[in-house]
Structure 1
Amino acid sequence: MNIDKKRPSSRRGLRAIAAAAVGLLGLLSAPAWAWPDRPIELVVGFAAGGGTDITARTVAMHLGKLLNTSVVVSNKAGASGELGLAFVAKAPPDGYVIGMTNMPGLVTLPIERRTQFKAEDFSYIANLVRDPSAFSVNAGSKYRTVADLVADAKARPGEISYGSTGVGTDDHLAMVLFERLTGTRLNHVPFNGAGPLRNALFGGHIVIGGMNLGEVMPFKSKVVVLGEAGAARSRLAPEVPSFVEQGVNLVFSSERGIVAPRNLSPEVLQKLTEALRTMAADPEFQKQMEDQFTEMDYLEGAAWKTRLDKATQEFTTLWKSNPWGDAQRPQ
């Protein structure tokens, strides 16, 4: 009889213990499932004003809305993007520091030098867009076609200045491939980003500006784009001739994606992936990318990493036959 009277109390005690256990499990899992509960830093390894920076700022706006937090772009320019990538690689793997990458630099920098990051230091979330390389000159330049440039470069080897966003970047490698295809030699002048490079071109301090199509088209009244390195003319800038149609088989682009430090928790990785997938499918985001003259090129996780691994092999072969590193310092 006494035992029966105590049973309800015992059951209540068991329920209380169970509830406490569930609560404890909830607290233990909260950091992952509550993510993000503070602002996220999106690191760009180049100065403000370039194509990678502009893409990152558009991504930050959309990603912040999808994740219900602020995404703040942080420019850590230097060493052709290496400083920004190294900062991401060394950050805690909690999802609060992510990086906007620029390929080929993501894979070529470790080929040409001993970098502060390695390929295995990242969680590869997704590639978002590509932006064809292009050669531009000041509007007052005597060059109007790629043939004009080739003829003068052959007559004056090493004298025509070519600005890029850094050693080993897509802009620099586009020059290396151009020289190889045309039998010419240009004078490479690296900068810390497309913004400073563009100002140097406008000011007449360099002759050729090696920038992506999206970085020069907003300023087309001030420049002449001699050629862009898509396989054909870009539907976003149909008035710009390709290198291919001008007899130079140069096909090369900057690819921009998002990485995080390695060992990112599966829950945070899933949330980031789903948010980027939703963003990439959003017509408003796609329209903004088109307005920036960049083409959608969405590829997630393992598939993206496989493509990067293939690119690494190809650039390693190029490096062995034609090293592109030089000792010039950014301006």
Structure 2
Amino acid sequence: MKNKLKFGMMAIAGAILTATGSQAQDWKPEQPVRMIVAFAPGGPVDLVGREIAQRLGEYLDQTVIVENMGGAGGIIGAQHVAQADPDGQTIFFAAAGNVVIRPLVDNNTDIAKQLRSVGLVSKSPHAMVVRDGLDVQTVEELIAYAKAHPGELNFGSAGTGAAAHLGFEMFKQATGVEIEHIPYKGSAPAIVDLAAGAVDMSLSSIPSLTAMLEAGKIRMIALTDEAPTDMGVPKVSDTVEGYAYSTWYGVMAPAETAGNIVETLNKGLAFAVSDKALAERLAKMGAKLGHSTPEEMEAFFEQEVTRWDAVIEASGIRN
């Protein structure tokens, strides 16, 4: 990646400099800012979004209110922000799934053109987990087992086009294994069935797996990218060269939002991620804080579109 994004303690140090480099603000919200989260309360997107909203509000000296607006895989919330007045009063807490993956699966990428990048704030790897009764301990053993038993293994995901689904499609394309997809209506029922032995494996966020891992009902064999703390688990890329993905979160605004508003919001995000206590809390959720300029986020966004578009095209799941 040409625009190497910084996450972790180096990013926090850089964010402090960004946030404090200029005390003057060209824009100040006149009323509470609405941050739209396109998923239900209590999930990882909502939890991280609320933490960022609180700190952003401190920087702006104005309340940032989180509004949950789910539906259509996050598209409804994104469309709401895209159609809002470009005055900085309505912003979007974006995730890879609702601004990159879902639009590509639905062959409706216009929504991304109606939003403007403000800045990235965090990324999180998924964990590759298998049911306790499956006799594999590593990614290498999983590949060998799948090739010895073609078509016998399956994986559960939060649904067709979900990040975990595409993560396994990318894995299949990189390794040549045959693994059947079992779509669920959300990640929670997929993990419940994994623990019960009804499906063989899954990819999911670390917090969603903690209870089943501690109960010994599932086993983590790899991470899809670097974790914020050493979990003693290898990355998939240690076996499958070039394989890596993370879920990521950032802030976007209506496309016509003025540059001075975007600059102020970006400085607010830098202030938000400079909180070391927040970084420690989110690390326990598997999230690594970071900061980017709007331009870096836009370049990263384009790379994500290119990468996932190729996976979707090869897997034949585009609607």
Work out which of the residue numbers 273, 278, 287 in structure 2 matches 1:285. 278
Partners in 2 of 1:78 and 1:186 — Cα distance? 29
Q: Indicate the larger mover: 243-252 or 124-133.
A: 243-252
Specify every segment of 5 or more residues in structure 1 that has no aligned partner in the other structure, as ranges: 1-31
**Equivalent residue, structure 1, for 2:302:** 309
Partners in 2 of 1:60 and 1:51 — Cα distance? 14
Asked if structure 2 preserves the Cα contact closer than 8 Å seen for 1:79 and 1:166, the reply is: no
Instruction: Give the Å deviation of 1:204.
Output: 4.5
**Equivalent residue, structure 1, for 2:181:** 188
Asked if structure 1 preserves the Cα contact closer than 8 Å seen for 2:28 and 2:60, the reply is: no
Work out which of the residue numbers 31, 42, 51 in structure 2 matches 1:37. 31
Partners in 1 of 2:247 and 2:182 — Cα distance? 19
Instruction: Give the Å deviation of 1:107.
Output: 2.5
Amino acid at match of 1:239: G
Q: Which has the higher contact order (CA 8 A, sep 6+)?
A: 2
Asked if structure 2 preserves the Cα contact closer than 8 Å seen for 1:167 and 1:326, the reply is: no
**Equivalent residue, structure 2, for 1:10:** none
Specify every segment of 5 or more residues in structure 2 that has no aligned partner in the other structure, as ranges: 1-25
- Answer yes or no: is 1:229 the counterpart of 2:224: yes
Q: Deviations over 1:56-98 (max 9, x none)?
A: 2322232233334443433333443333322322233233332
- SS of equivalent to 1:118: helix
Q: Indicate the larger mover: 149-158 or 175-184.
A: 149-158
Instruction: Give the Å deviation of 1:108.
Output: 3.4
Number of aligned residues: 292
Q: Compared with structure 1, are the counterparts of its residues 44 and 149 closer, same or farther at alpha carbon in structure 2 (3 Å cutoff)?
A: farther
Instruction: Give the Å deviation of 1:243.
Output: 1.4
Work out which of the residue numbers 91, 98, 108 in structure 2 matches 1:98. 91
Instruction: Give the Å deviation of 1:36.
Output: 4.4
Partners in 1 of 2:66 and 2:110 — Cα distance? 20
State the superposition RMSD in angstroms. Answer: 3.1
**Equivalent residue, structure 2, for 1:54:** 47
Instruction: Give the Å deviation of 1:193.
Output: 4.4
Identity %: 23
Amino acid at match of 2:137: R
**Equivalent residue, structure 1, for 2:315:** 323
Work out which of the residue numbers 189, 194, 203 in structure 2 matches 1:210. 203
User: TM (normalized to structure 2)?
Assistant: 0.77
Amino acid at match of 2:37: V
Asked if structure 2 preserves the Cα contact closer than 8 Å seen for 1:35 and 1:268, the reply is: no
Amino acid at match of 1:188: H
Q: Compared with structure 1, are the counterparts of its residues 263 and 109 closer, same or farther at alpha carbon in structure 2 (3 Å cutoff)?
A: same
Q: Indicate the larger mover: 169-178 or 66-75.
A: 66-75
User: TM (normalized to structure 1)?
Assistant: 0.75
Partners in 2 of 1:118 and 1:165 — Cα distance? 22
- SS of equivalent to 2:214: coil
Amino acid at match of 2:53: A
Q: Compared with structure 1, are the counterparts of its residues 275 and 247 closer, same or farther at alpha carbon in structure 2 (3 Å cutoff)?
A: closer
- Answer yes or no: is 1:161 the counterpart of 2:172: no
Asked if structure 2 preserves the Cα contact closer than 8 Å seen for 1:45 and 1:85, the reply is: yes
Partners in 2 of 1:262 and 1:128 — Cα distance? 19
Partners in 2 of 1:256 and 1:170 — Cα distance? 13
Instruction: Give the Å deviation of 1:219.
Output: 5.5
**Equivalent residue, structure 2, for 1:256:** 249
Q: Compared with structure 1, are the counterparts of its residues 326 and 118 closer, same or farther at alpha carbon in structure 2 (3 Å cutoff)?
A: closer
Asked if structure 1 preserves the Cα contact closer than 8 Å seen for 2:105 and 2:318, the reply is: no
Instruction: Give the Å deviation of 1:121.
Output: 0.6
Partners in 2 of 1:45 and 1:164 — Cα distance? 19
Partners in 1 of 2:57 and 2:190 — Cα distance? 30
Instruction: Give the Å deviation of 1:275.
Output: 1.0
